[in-house]
């Protein structure tokens, strides 16, 4: 009965290139443009839902590029869900997993569009399909990643003054460790009372991490994200054993077994949750349960998504029994043009979950058209 009219009749994709407000640097890449694949899913009853697959720096942060994501959705994932009921969330995700191994960002983009369409068709927020929301706002961190301490301090002070962010993530690893420490010391001194997280994005060796841990601890850094290469599990565990600061696992664990392996090796005690790693909304919730069951605390990670991708994460994060470290969904504010009509808001240091049906956001069609890649 409920399924009638709710068959998926079309899945379309478009690549968009969205300029950022400033250069965003990571240890292994830097961007001034964020590229996404926007997925549009249409149902027989006329409902349309949207999802977003994010990348960072081409196939650099992870192996998927927007070009590959679009091709794999168009050729393999879309045919896998066409004609199926949008309400068969598990069956649709299984069909996509059968059609393509890994391709997590691509699967997550389609999955988000299906959750949005299902919710919009029934007049329910997507969080209802995931157990229902436990919270309507989440403390949200801002990332400082230009590499220029003066600019970063000015940017952070503006965020504090606007009461948008009071926790900051500093990207490390693109300067020498000594230069990064000097930069970090200036930032920490300028932002008293603010929590500081450092993301090394795999940029350090075990020796460098061990050498600089005491300085990070002295500066009061509260969390160190992905200091070493994902494959260096034993080395990361040795770093974690010596570190007074918890280590957060990011690129080292996409799948459930990878999360368990990190936790069992004691290589991380906090897990960064991302749709591009888990491959779908239900899968993201499962990743949270797996990490929690292994004793890890949870952090809501991002890949600089627009308001659309942020809303898909918030639909899941709002339902999690535990989310000890809040989230970092600052993406809607780092892009020059958001692709939504501003339903995701930032106020009193929190990101507010949009309450509307589906993912709770609507698409700015004019922005989507003007930023769509031509040719």
Binding positions for Mg ion, rule: CB under 5 A: 199, 225, 250
Coil/strand/helix, residue 280: coil
DSSP state of 73: I
Report, in Å, the least distance between residue 167 CB and ligand MUC: 13
* Of residues 201, 216, 208, the one with CA closest to residue 272: 201
- Chain-centroid distance, C-alpha 179: 28
Nearer to ligand MUC, 56 or 308 (CB): 56
Cα-Cα-Cα-Cα torsion 28, 101, 234, 300, nearest 10 degrees, comes to 60
**Are 114 and 94 within 8 A, CB to CB?**
no
d(CA 306, CA 288): 22
Binding partner of residue 278 among Mg ion, ligand MUC, none, CB cut-off 5 to 8 Å per kind: none
Provide the minimum distance between the beta carbon of 225 and Mg ion in the complex, in angstroms, as a whole number.
5
Tokens of 186: 């200036």
Q: Which residues, in sequence order, are bridge partners of residue 196? A: 168
Please state the closest distance from residue 202 (CB atom) to ligand MUC, in A. Answer: 9
Rg (CA), the chain: 20
Q: Are 355 and 125 in contact (CB under 8 A)?
A: yes
Nearer to Mg ion, 280 or 301 (CB): 301
Cβ atoms 210, 236 nearer than 8 A = no
Q: Which is nearer to ligand MUC, 33 or 82 (CB)?
A: 33
Residue 270, contacted partner among ligand MUC, Mg ion, none, CB below 5-8 A by kind: none
Smallest gap, in angstroms, from Cβ of residue 171 to ligand MUC?
6
CB of 48 to ligand MUC, least distance (A): 29
Alpha carbon distance 70, 85 (integer Å): 23
- Least Cβ distance, residue 225 to ligand MUC (angstroms): 6
**Residue 303 site contact among Mg ion, ligand MUC, none (CB < 5 to 8 Å, cut-off depends on kind):** ligand MUC
Tokens representing 115?
């959750």
Supply the minimum distance, in Å, between the C-beta of residue 201 and Mg ion.
Answer: 6
| Structure tokens belonging to residue 163 | 């009461």
Q: Name the site residues for ligand MUC (rule: CB under 6 A).
A: 26, 56, 61, 143, 145, 169, 171, 199, 201, 250, 301-304, 328
Neighbours of 182 (CB within 10 A): 12
Q: Which does 203 bind (CB under 5 to 8 A by kind): Mg ion, ligand MUC, none?
A: none
Comparing every residue's Cβ against ligand MUC, the nearest one is 143
Going through the chain in order, the beta strands assigned E by DSSP cover: 8-25, 30-43, 48-54, 137-139, 142-144, 167-171, 195-199, 223-225, 247-249, 270-273, 297-300, 345-347, 350-352
Closer CB to ligand MUC, 49 or 227, in the complex: 227
Measured in Å, how far apart are the chain's first and last C-alpha atoms?
A: 42
| Residue closer to Mg ion, measured from CB, 52 or 250 | 250
Residues identified as active-site: 171
Query: Which of ligand MUC, Mg ion, none sits in contact with 283, Cβ below 5 to 8 A by type?
Result: none
Burial class from Cβ neighbours inside 10 Å (0-12, 13-18, 19+) for residue 123 reads exposed
The CB-nearest residue to Mg ion is 250
**Among Mg ion, ligand MUC, none, residue 145 binds (CB under 5-8 Å by kind):** ligand MUC
Q: Which is nearer to ligand MUC, 133 or 273 (CB)?
A: 273
Smaller CB distance to ligand MUC: residue 7 or 180? Answer: 180
């Amino acid at each position: 009965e409920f399924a009638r009219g709710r068959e998926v009749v079309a899945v379309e994709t478009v690549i968009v290139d969205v300029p950022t407000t400033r250069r965003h640097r990571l240890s292994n890449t830097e961007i001034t443009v964020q590229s996404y694949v926007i997925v549009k899913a249409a149902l027989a009853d006329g409902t349309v839902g949207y999802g977003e697959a994010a990348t960072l720096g081409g196939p650099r942060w992870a192996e998927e590029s927007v070009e590959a994501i679009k091709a794999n959705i168009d050729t393999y994932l879309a045919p896998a869900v066409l004609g199926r009921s949008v309400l068969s969330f598990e069956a649709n995700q299984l069909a996509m997993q059968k059609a393509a191994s890994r391709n997590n960002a691509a699967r997550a983009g389609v999955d988000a569009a299906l959750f949005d369409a299902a919710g919009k068709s029934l007049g329910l927020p997507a969080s209802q399909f995931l157990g229902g929301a436990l919270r309507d706002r989440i403390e949200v961190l801002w990332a400082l990643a230009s590499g220029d301490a003066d600019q970063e301090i000015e940017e952070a002070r503006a965020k504090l003054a606007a009461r948008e962010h009071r926790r900051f993530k500093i990207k490390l690893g693109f300067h020498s460790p000594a230069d990064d420490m000097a930069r970090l010391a200036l930032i920490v001194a300028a932002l008293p009372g603010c929590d500081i997280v450092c993301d090394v994005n795999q940029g350090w060796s075990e020796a460098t991490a061990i050498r600089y841990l005491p300085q990070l601890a002295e500066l009061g850094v509260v969390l160190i994200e992905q200091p070493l290469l994902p494959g260096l599990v034993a080395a990361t565990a040795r770093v974690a054993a010596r570190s007074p600061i918890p280590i957060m696992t990011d690129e080292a664990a996409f799948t459930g077994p990878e999360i368990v392996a990190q936790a069992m090796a004691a290589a991380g005690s906090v897990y960064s949750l991302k749709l591009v790693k888990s491959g779908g909304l239900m899968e993201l919730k499962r990743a949270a349960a797996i990490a929690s069951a292994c004793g890890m605390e949870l952090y809501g990670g991002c890949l600089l998504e627009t308001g659309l991708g942020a809303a898909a994460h918030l639909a899941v994060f709002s339902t999690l029994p535990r989310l000890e470290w809040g989230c970092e969904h600052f993406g809607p504010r780092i892009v020059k043009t958001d692709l939504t009509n501003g339903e995701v808001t930032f106020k009193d240091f929190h990101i507010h979950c949009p309450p509307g049906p589906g993912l709770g956001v609507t698409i700015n069609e004019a922005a989507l058209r003007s930023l769509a890649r031509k040719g």
